[in-house]
Amino acid sequence: MSDQYSNEPLMEMFLFETSQLLEQLEQNILSSEKESGFSEDSINEIFRIMHTIKGSSAMMLFDNIAKLAHSIEDLFFFIRKEKPEQIDLTVLSDLVLEGVDFIKTEVEKIKGSSPADGNAENLVVTIKNLLTELKRMNAAPAAAFTPIPSGDYAYKALIHFEEGCEMENIRAYTIIHNLKELSKEIYYIPEDIIDSDESINVIRKNGFQIYLKTDRDYRKMHEFFMQTIFLKDMELLQLEDTEFAQYNKPEITPEENLTKLSIGKEVSQVEKPVRTDQLEKEPTTTNTTQSIISVGVVKLDKLMDLVGEMVIAEAMVIQNPDLKGLQLSNFTKAANQLNKITSEIQDIVMSIRMVPLSATFIKMHRIVRDMCKKLDKDVHLEIIGEETEVDKNIIEHISDPLMHLVRNSVDHGIENTQERLEKGKSKSGTITLEAKNAGSDVLIIVRDDGKGLNKEKILKKARENNLLFKNEEDMTDKEIYNLILLPGFSTKEKVTEFSGRGVGMDVVTKNIEAVGGTLSVDSVAEKGTVITLKIPLTLAIIDGMNIKVGKSRYTIPTISIKESFRPKETEIIYDPDGNEMIMVRGECYAIRRLHELYKLKTNITKFSEGIIIMVEQDEKTVCVFADELLGQQQVVVKALPHYIQSFKRIRGLAGCTLLGDGSISLILDVARMFNR
């Protein structure tokens, strides 16, 4: 059945649902751990989830996943049924989490279209051993199941069912099934009771023959067979071992391929149904019409792209050079209407792509848990504002950095219990993960109450690695702390399992910057460290101010523009190095000439002819000098083509966009333009 199920939506559904279930499972385990016990509900849930995963993955022919899921399912089936008391919670949750990790890895492999070839054999064995152990320990002496009999007596039974009772094969199967509790050696004719409808006729004609060995005596066995429903007649013979041996054919395990059966007209025993009170409350939970559908991300990305193209096309029409100088009042009206609709579509499409941070945040619980265990620390993770929404693409980019930050906090920030107590702090450390909206940005704050950053160590390290860009004495605390974000900085001498694997904070910084975000560090010795990520809500479309320098066009995000003005030459002041500055309302700002920075030819070099745009980003303000303002427009941010990026990294460019007349404009990232 290899290719009948290999169709893509089904695969996508499998991956989607499995991932979701795994998340759910993980949360279940973690919260159970917190409550130091599995509630009946959570055991049921774990069982169900594993059952579902087993079914789906077997269907998709991922046998390794199915096998593992099956073993965990078995384990929880036992726990659900027997409610064993002697059970080591940590061992149990560790095992399940290990299983979750394995399946997750496999699912990732499948997503990346590589073969899911992981081997969980060891884990399966461990789980099975645990189950055996549990069964052994929790075997209630009174209700102890008779151990499988060694097989003292051999019997032959010939069974005829009542005519017209239908489903002879499944009835035969029922007998075999029940017999398994009494005997481990069973052979029967016809053998193919499950696989073949033909067997029904054979049973009807010749009866159903069973050969078995058991320690039960004749009377007991007779009693057993007589209990069969719709039994017409039955012959039971005791056999000698030698006689039995000739029927010694390979045993058939009907459970393995229970696939077909014939259908019964009558139902033998319709159990008198008991109306549960569940039914009475039915209106509350029933008939929920589907109000949510899942859509592939690819489609959403495509939609986003198209909306972007539409915005550009709209600008191309409305700002078409052919229209210059014409008075078209009707056209303008229609154009405004179009503009209104496109921006509404944009908002909607954006909002579709917004995903709450909760999933990303909740993952951190697991990381904190695992690390606390390994490092023997006591850390409590607090999550605030997880409902804050961010563009899906951005979430993918910040998940890893965030994980790294949390790891750092647990590993380097929070002290171990003893140290904390000596310092007079609370026994368990707290890491707070907070998200909130701030204008067009989202702030994500990772705060710990650990030992804080060590200024001297940072400075020493920075000196060694030549990372100091100004006088040590002149540096504010914040500037010193932010040194750790620079490439090639890592103060931890010892590399631990979790953090400081050579990839330091600079990787985190790079990842955050890749989505147009920034990162800042603040710390108070012995009080803790705060790391703030500032990430844009969305990447795709921004309001931009188009400016011109020589023949080139640039776009500055409108949100960072504070004002623009044309100063007099006399207002310009110079610092001792000859850099141009301007005083505005008592504050002094550096002026940067774009034509100098990008070496552009322009006739406008006098401040009185051009324009100065004051731009603020990340609490830094600079004045940018350009030739003229071209106007404001929504622009679709496109990444710089790969070959340009790899050819030379140009400082201060966030991307590019198309203008209404079809020309290309480069989007300036002012903050980075002037950073060293």
Partner 1 sequence: MKRVLIVDDAAFMRMAIKNILVKHDFEVIDEAENGLVGLNKYKDLKPDLVTMDITMPEMTGLQSLKEIIAYDSNAKVVMVSAMGQEPMVMEAIQSGAKSFIVKPFKEDHVIKTLNNILNLS
Closer to partner 1 at the Cβ: 176 or 372? 176
Please list, in sequence order, all residues whose beta carbon lies within 8 angstroms of the beta carbon of residue 336, skipping any fewer than 6 positions away: none
CB-neighbour burial class of residue 90 (10 A; exposed 0-12, middle 13-18, buried 19+)? exposed
CB of 547 to partner 1, least distance (A): 51
Q: Which helix (H) or strand (E) holds 228?
A: none
Can you say how many angstroms the Cα of residue 222 is from the centroid of all Cα atoms in its chain?
Answer: 58
How far is residue 632 CA from its own chain's centroid?
38
Q: Shortest distance, CB of residue 139 to partner 1, whole angstroms? A: 20
Sign, Cα dihedral of 390, 386, 438, 406: negative
317: closest CA among 303, 331, 327, 304? 331
φ, ψ dihedrals at 302, nearest 5°: -60, -45
Closer of 167 and 406 to partner 1 (Cβ): 167
Buried b (16+ CB within 10 A) or exposed e, 100-113: bebbeebbeebeee
> Closest separation between CB of residue 92 and partner 1, Å?
20
Nearer to partner 1, 144 or 292 (CB): 292
Please identify, using beta-carbon distances, which residue of 7 and 122 lies nearer to partner 1: 7
Amino acid of residue 561: I
Burial class (CB in 10 A: 0-12, 13-18, 19+), 665: buried
Pick 20 or 337: Cβ nearer partner 1: 20
Q: Which is nearer to partner 1, 61 or 334 (CB)?
A: 61
Q: Is the peptide bond before 401 cis (omega within 30 degrees of 0)?
A: no
Minimum distance from CB of 73 to partner 1 (Å)?
A: 8
For the bound state, the minimum distance from the C-beta of residue 76 to partner 1, rounded and expressed in Å, comes to 11
Comparison of 200 and 480: residue with beta carbon closer to partner 1: 200
Q: Is 433 exposed, middle or buried (0-12, 13-18, 19+ CB in 10 A)?
A: buried
Q: How many CB atoms lie within 10 A of CB 548?
A: 19
10 Å CB burial of residue 597 (0-12, 13-18, 19+) is middle
Cβ 379 to partner 1 shortest distance, Å: 33
Alpha helices for 323-454 (secondary structure H):
329-353, 358-375, 392-408, 417-422
Shortest Å distance, C-beta 80 to partner 1: 11
**Residues that bind partner 1 in the complex, under the rule CB under 8 A:** 1, 4-5, 7, 9-10, 13-14, 17-18, 44-45, 47-48, 51-52, 54-56, 58-59, 61, 70, 73-74, 167, 170, 174, 177, 255-256, 258-265, 267-271, 273-276, 278-279, 282, 285-288
Smallest gap, in angstroms, from Cβ of residue 55 to partner 1? Answer: 4
CB of 294 to partner 1, least distance (A): 8
Q: C-beta of 273: minimal distance to partner 1 in Å? A: 3
DSSP-H helix ranges across 83-189: 89-111, 121-138, 168-179
For the bound state, the minimum distance from the C-beta of residue 402 to partner 1, rounded and expressed in Å, comes to: 29
Token representation of residue 178: 């029940």
Nearer to partner 1, 76 or 607 (CB): 76
Q: Which is nearer to partner 1, 148 or 640 (CB)?
A: 148
Q: Which is nearer to partner 1, 45 or 389 (CB)?
A: 45
Name the residue nearer to partner 1 (CB basis): 56 or 634: 56
Give the shortest CB-192-to-partner 1 separation in angstroms.
15
The residue among 67 and 380 lying less far from partner 1, judged by its C-beta, is 67
Q: For residue 614, what is the enclosing H or E element?
A: strand 611-617
Rounded to 10 deg, the angle between the 358-375 and 392-408 helix axes is: 20
3-state secondary structure of 432: strand
Nearer to partner 1, 181 or 477 (CB): 181
Q: State which amino acid sits at residue 300.
A: L
Instruction: Name the residue nearer to partner 1 (CB basis): 264 or 550.
Output: 264
Question: Judged by CB, which is closer to partner 1: 296, or 641?
Answer: 296
Cβ burial, residue 207 (10 Å; 0-12/13-18/19+): buried
Question: Can you tell me the distance from the alpha carbon of 509 to that of 530, in angstroms, rounded to the nearest whole number?
Answer: 15
Residue type, 313: A
Token pair 């005791």 in the structure block, residue: 238
Min CB(213)–partner 1 separation in Å: 22
Kindly state the smallest distance separating residue 348's Cβ from partner 1, in Å: 25
What b/e string do you get for 457-495 counting C-beta neighbours within 10 Å, with b at 16 or more? ebbebbeeeebeeeeeeebeeeebbbbbbbeebbbeeee
Instruction: Give which of 297, 406, 353 is closest to 536, Cα–Cα.
Output: 353
Smallest gap from residue 224 Cβ to partner 1 (A): 16
Query: Structure tokens of 113?
Result: 């279209």
Tokens coding 16: 């989607």
Of 36 and 285, which CB lies nearer to partner 1 in the complex structure?
285
- Sheet containing 628-636: order of strands: 628-636, 541-549, 552-557, 664-668, 653-658
Contact 256, 173 (CB under 8 A): no
Q: How far is the CB of 56 from partner 1 (least distance, A)?
A: 5
